[in-house]
Structure 1
């Protein structure tokens, strides 16, 4: 920020004031921790959380644009072989672009996402399940940013999607049960003919996992932590399995165990796997899983940043992949962590899958 601010032709007191404002905004996660005890749950009014995300996003984007400006200036000096002075107007323009992009990014992040349609062909799918539809929600991150009103709108849109089954692939919340009780209450109204199933994400383990599993069950979710169910339709069968999250062992809980999840599953029946994180998709494919549904990455949030996120997730970051004969779908997420709520080129989604016989 010093590279952008100090060369400006402004009075020193103005620069100091701006520097203090930028410093305060850059410590958003520290203020969040002071507000709730966790960087993952900023306990401020929603408008303040939105403002912090915009300001923090502006700083991040301005830093990137300033680096680009510096590289451009250096290239110009090398070509012309003389000193170059960057005009203040260009510095203000860079700041304006950063602020505008951050505003667009926050607006994209907090909206109620559309339903995205995806067809998946599955080998051995019984004719009774040809055309079967399920809706995936993931990374709801219900919090002071994604509140009860937002959750109600998501539930209304999900229920109107007309699917046979709804699944949630983790990261329901940011906050304890007591902090989020009212905000998650609308989820009780989620319904589908074949039920609503779910698995935990990594954030459930940050806020008393056991309490959240009890509360989610009370809200009507059929949890599948290293378990499966056999769905039946006209005598045909489909296995829906789920695993816990990779972060579980860090808090003394059982980690993901695909063997346990599939123990006793009928042979020759197509398997749909719910796994919050996509990085172990090849292991699932080796076990004969037909379709894996994941989240966690938020689609990388910003074009360019998604390449970095992919490296930390086995190369998987956004939407459809074919993995050794298995279809992996990594949702961009229904919402995302309120600590960095920006989306540029990676929109949120609710994903409606239509199964087709291959």
Structure 2
């Protein structure tokens, strides 16, 4: 031990009090993660004992290296201060492709081991694994892109609310969440979503946030069809976390301009058959930390002045906002945010942060939570084992 200490280089001088670490240090873990994401698929497909011809190895290595360099560059250009949509489309696609490749490269180890047990030697074992992995990934990418770009399927769910009056029994609530109008122009998709919602003839329409990635001016055409959505009782909207990356107040104002009730920590009351329902909404959980004056989730403010005997449907973007809803005695919280995981198995990681990834769940004797899988997508134009949805909730009296 003493010999090792005596031969060690002199210790670096102590950092002056209050001096921060170099700003570039945050890049180290980022590139470490990126390298891991790329190295395993490269090893699986190119150099894992498959003994491919030299030109194949060189071409594969160059392709992976170019993608590794291009990903951070295009993500910074696309999602940084410049917001170049073309760069965002490339970067988002790259990160989706490499995530799927990484996932199925890990799973391919089971195939490799099975072939080993079956007595299949290299290079055949590695070539079968590489070709099989590439084929599965290609099919999943094509299918996932189609699923992401299609108009969502309708998901119908009955929700019993014991405090709901008989006059409101059968009230329908169409839930939209996470439309994420963004770098890919989806104005036609947005029009298709509007047609699908209107075909349901809902009493209430809810947009549970993450309306767009970008300002109102940049995403105006994609959001325009929201103005054509119809509901017999109310259309309500709350902010999601992505609004706070751009202009949350701008989107609240724009949705109000389109005729929606922008529920910025407030409520409206709807009535049918002599019975009433409180529709309340709160800002996203990230609103307070955004620094935007007057923004921050506040359930107490949202229901202030409402008759405490009336049932409350609360719209809050993130499922993890449910504790405040439970404390306030809310009957049903409607949320989005999770995208159902969007690209399997990311749903397992989402579950570490959120109490629910998709569907109806109960969180107290009174309070239930419905988590929408979302209508759109963020980042990679892919949905793999996490279908999009437009939800039609039918409220039932006990």
**TM-score, reference length from structure 2:** 0.80
Asked if 2 retains the 8 angstrom alpha-carbon contact of 1:76 and 1:84, the reply is no
Structure ranking higher on relative contact order (CA contacts 8 Å, 6+ apart): 1
Q: Tell me how far apart the structure 2 counterparts of residues 38 and 222 of structure 1 sit (CA, whole Å).
A: 31
Question: RMSD of aligned C-alpha atoms?
Answer: 2.6
- The equivalent position to 2:57 in structure 1, one of 4, 12, 15, is 15
Compare 8-17 and 59-68 and name the one that shifted more.
8-17
* Distance change in 2, residues 1:121/1:218 (3 Å): same
Q: Tell me how far apart the structure 2 counterparts of residues 112 and 183 of structure 1 sit (CA, whole Å).
A: 14
Summarize the alignment of residues 101-120 of structure 1 with structure 2, pairs less than 5 Å apart. Answer: 101-120=140-159
Shift in Å at residue 83 of structure 1? Answer: 8.1
* Distance change in 2, residues 1:160/1:69 (3 Å): closer
Compare 79-88 and 193-202 and name the one that shifted more.
79-88
* Distance change in 2, residues 1:259/1:103 (3 Å): same
- The equivalent position to 2:360 in structure 1, one of 310, 317, 320, is 320
Q: Tell me how far apart the structure 1 counterparts of residues 196 and 249 of structure 2 sit (CA, whole Å).
A: 29
Structure 1 gap ranges (5+): none
Name 1:153's counterpart in structure 2. 192
Name 1:33's counterpart in structure 2. 76
* Distance change in 2, residues 1:16/1:208 (3 Å): farther
Task: Give the length in aligned residue pairs.
Answer: 351
Summarize the alignment of residues 1-358 of structure 1 with structure 2, pairs less than 5 Å apart. Answer: 1-4=41-44, 5-7=46-48, 8-26=50-68, 27-28=70-71, 30-35=73-78, 37=80, 43-44=85-86, 49=89, 56-70=95-109, 73=112, 86-145=125-184, 147-253=186-292, 254-313=295-354, 315-325=355-365, 326-337=367-378, 339-358=379-398
Shift in Å at residue 29 of structure 1? Answer: 5.7
Compare 107-116 and 65-74 and name the one that shifted more.
65-74
Structure 2 gap ranges (5+): 1-40
Asked if 2 retains the 8 angstrom alpha-carbon contact of 1:58 and 1:99, the reply is no
State the SS of the aligned residue for 1:279: helix
**TM-score, reference length from structure 1:** 0.89
Asked if 2 retains the 8 angstrom alpha-carbon contact of 1:299 and 1:319, the reply is no
Q: Tell me how far apart the structure 2 counterparts of residues 31 and 333 of structure 1 sit (CA, whole Å).
A: 26
Q: Tell me how far apart the structure 2 counterparts of residues 276 and 18 of structure 1 sit (CA, whole Å).
A: 42
Shift in Å at residue 153 of structure 1? Answer: 0.6
Asked if 2 retains the 8 angstrom alpha-carbon contact of 1:33 and 1:42, the reply is no
Compare 102-111 and 296-305 and name the one that shifted more.
296-305
